[in-house]
Chains A and B, each alone.
Chain A
Amino acid sequence: MFRRERSIPLRGSAAALCNNLSVLQQRNLTHFGVVHGPSAQLLSAAPEGVPLAQRQLHAKEGAGVSSPLITQVHWCVLPDRVLLVLASHRGIQMYESDGSVMVYWHALDSGDASLVQAVFARGIAASGHFICVELLTPDTSHRHCHEPAQGQLLSAAEDTFVHIWKLSRSPESGYIEVEHCHGACVPDTQVCGARFCDPSGSSFAVTGYDLAEILRFSSM
């Protein structure tokens, strides 16, 4: 069973995007990243959800060009460093984990691409020494956000529900089995991001479209 904990206010509401929440645990602090639109909001909180610093990050562009809309913000934990990755319709930008310095920039080639079949970047993940970013045309759509922790899976959808599932392997058949552990309704909220906040899966955070706060839950 999970109960609601104190929410963390955001300066801007969360955009209606898939996987619109990234969480990074560093020492005693928890960092959250949420896309608002043309900016990503980064904030850090102490235990018990006490908010500390908050900053907005815009995907940098050339002079005279408006900021593109960000499609995802995600911390990538690599063996020797942590990078903050911003994906947008114009490309991919990587920053130091606190968003202070940009270390890499890859622009999507929009020269030849016809406007009608737009390509955009989304789906950021770290694997070993690599950072993977998916380049998509909008034919892949999914509404659930998944995050594994200790054999548990967290899913959230626009139907206002967040679910926690337990994954296990059957000793007899060897097949993967799924069991539903807990469901929580976030009233009148189109959930767009959900992440566990610790490796044991005893707490998680949720964002919702148009909601200017990060909701927190912890197990009782």
Chain B
Amino acid sequence: MSVRTLPLLFLNLGGEMLYILDQRLRAQNIPGDKARKVLNDIISTMFNRKFMEELFKPQELYSKKALRTVYDRLAHASIMRLNQASMDKLYDLMTMAFKYQVLLCPRPRDVLLVTFNHLDAIKGFIQDSPTILHQVDETFRQLTETYGGLSAGEFQMIRQTLLSFFQDLHIRVSIFLKDRVQNSNGRFVLPVSGPVPWGTEVPGLIRMFNRKGEEVRKAEFKHGGNYVAAPKEGSFELYGDRVLKLGTNMYSVNRPVETHMSGASKNLASQTQESIAPNPLAKEELNLLARLMGGMEIKKPSGPEPGFRLNLFTTDEEEEQAALTRPEELSYEVINIQATQDQQRNEELAQIMGEFEVMDQPRRITSKGDDLLAMMDEL
């Protein structure tokens, strides 16, 4: 598996998270200045230089649980709070969206264009903050440096690593079902028509060569697909037409975000195995996580800025219902920090986690998100 996959996974999932939060902030009529502050705070935390440095180090992918913990913190980097049910739904949507984008990439290298699409949109969210803009551009430069020279084979490895991470996730997303990019069984539609990947020919021709490499015969065959030539290549520059639409914002105020938590995936054996089996790497992963989050600077809100709770569902009742009916096999267990034996490491981790304590104001709103923080405080 490729050790260069994490930055792409993190940035694209983060991008999707911002699309969804932006849509929900508007749908819930959160005042403009508050909404902007939330997005600014999250983006600024995401693209923090120290954090990016850790992220770009060659390393294995984290488990789903570990990654979920990072996004949990990221989502709470500002004055906004999310209940567990909303956080679960947010993460479901993020992962299914990026899974779709990876699967549909014409070339393995196009995952970089998808990443650039996300970054382009993120820059749109923070147009009036030159400092954060600079951070994002800096990350852009780092992406180009890390991935610009990789071969097709290395991108194929990255693609396989990503697909391995997303294996067996078949959550049905309302917007995908409506757009007919996902079937009712949770599988994505793979089109057999449209432009071929850039740099490839439309299939249907057999060419035969002699020993000297001269073409001696041609024959046509019916491929079965309905492909056309690719019009142009997407740009890998800081600014440019990416051509590819994957990774652009598919949500808008009129297209609500919904998921169906169905038992569509019949083979739950592999999924349950991941969540129940003890993770022998828990200790090592925690160290990585601590280093990563150590680079994540969460600013404490200055002044009496009141927080608010964002709901990914249309009503509070719906959110409660979702929490109660979430299938066991789809529960994202947070890292079991109590599993570690090392007292000193526990204390270090507690200190780092403690620095993330965002809320200074009293917790008037009881939320399931509090359980997560409380659990971390228990160290």
Q: What distance in Å separates the Cβ of B59 from its nearest Cβ neighbour in chain A? A: 8
CB of A175 within 8 A of CB of B1, answer no
Determine whether A128 belongs to the interface, using a CB cutoff of 8 Å to chain B: no
CB-defined contacts of A160 to chain B, threshold 8 Å: 190, 192
- Across the interface, name the chain A residue whose C-beta is closest to B217: A177
Q: Are B280 and A65 in contact (CB under 8 A)?
A: yes
Q: Tell me, rounded to whole Å, the shortest Cβ–Cβ distance linking B65 to chain A.
A: 14
CA distance A175 to B213 in the complex (A): 12
* A24 at interface by CB-CB < 8 Å: no
Q: Given A17-B160, A141-B153, A161-B224, is A115 in contact with B270 using a C-beta cutoff of 8 Å? A: no
At the interface with chain B, which of A26-34, A43-51, A76-84, A178-186?
A178-186
Residue from B160, B168, B279 within 8 A of A13 (CB atoms): B168
Q: Contact at A175–B159, with CB atoms within 8 Å?
A: no
> Which of B151, B164, B281 contacts A66 (CB under 8 A)?
B281
A107 at interface, CB cutoff 8 A: no
Interface flags for A1-20 (1: CB within 8 Å of B; 0: not) read: 00000000011110111000
Docked complex: B162-203 residues within 8 A CB-CB of A: 163-164, 167-168, 170, 183, 187-190, 192
Q: Is the CB of B267 within 8 A of A188?
A: no
CB neighbours of B1 from chain A (8 A): 69, 89, 118
Minimal beta-carbon separation of A191 from chain B (angstroms): 10
Q: How distant is the Cα of A15 from the Cα of B216 in the complex, in angstroms?
A: 39
Residues of A within 8 A of B188 (CB): 188
Question: Counting chain B CB atoms within 10 Å of each CB, which of A16, A118, A139, A189 scores highest?
Answer: A16
Q: Which residue of B lies closest to A17 (CB)?
A: B160
A161 to B191, CA, bound (A): 11
Given A64-B280, A159-B225: A212 and B267 interface contact (C-beta under 8 Å): yes
Report yes or no: B269 in contact with A12, Cβ–Cβ below 8 A. yes
B1-38 vs A, CB cutoff 8 Å, 1 = contact: the mask equals 11110000000000000000000000000000000000
Compute how far the CA of A163 lies from the CA of B88 in the bound complex, rounded to whole angstroms: 42
Closest to A158 in B: B190
With a CB–CB cut-off of 8 A, which chain A residues contact B168? 12-13, 210
Chain B contacts for A216, CB-based, 8 A: none
Residues of chain B at interface, number, CB under 8 A: 45
A187 partner residues in chain B, CB cutoff 8 A: 190
Q: Which of A51-100 contact B (CB under 8 A)?
A: 64-66, 69, 89
Interface flag for B152 (CB, 8 Å): yes
Are A15 and B164 in touch, CB under 8 angstroms?
A: yes
Q: Do residues B159 and A16 form an inter-chain contact, with CB atoms below 8 A?
A: yes
* Cβ-based interface call for B156 (8 A): yes
Given known A13-B267, A66-B280, A161-B223, contact A138–B163 (CB-CB < 8 A):
no
- Tell me which residues from 190 to 237 in chain B have a Cβ below 8 Å from any Cβ of chain A: 190, 192, 206, 208, 210, 216-217, 219, 221-225
B157 touches A138 (CB 8 A): yes
Tell me if A127 counts as interface (CB < 8 A to partner B): no
Residues 258-315 of B at the A interface (beta carbon under 8 Å) = 266-267, 269-270, 279-281
Cβ contact within 8 Å between A177 and B208: yes
Complex alpha-carbon distance, A65 and B168, angstroms: 24
A residues within 8 A CB of B151? 138-139, 141
The interface bits of chain A over 102-123 (1 if a CB of B lies within 8 angstroms of the residue's CB, else 0) are 0000000000000110100000
Q: How far is the CA of A161 from the CA of B222 in the complex (A)?
A: 12
- A residues sitting closer than 8 Å to B (CB atoms) are 10-13, 15-17, 36-37, 64-66, 69, 89, 115-116, 118, 138-141, 159-161, 173, 175-180, 183-185, 187-190, 209-210, 212
Q: List 5 A-B pairs, minimum CB-CB distance, nearest first.
A: A180-B221, A16-B163, A141-B153, A212-B267, A138-B157
A-B CB contact pairs (8 Å), 7 listed: A65-B280, A66-B281, A115-B58, A176-B208, A178-B208, A179-B206, A210-B163
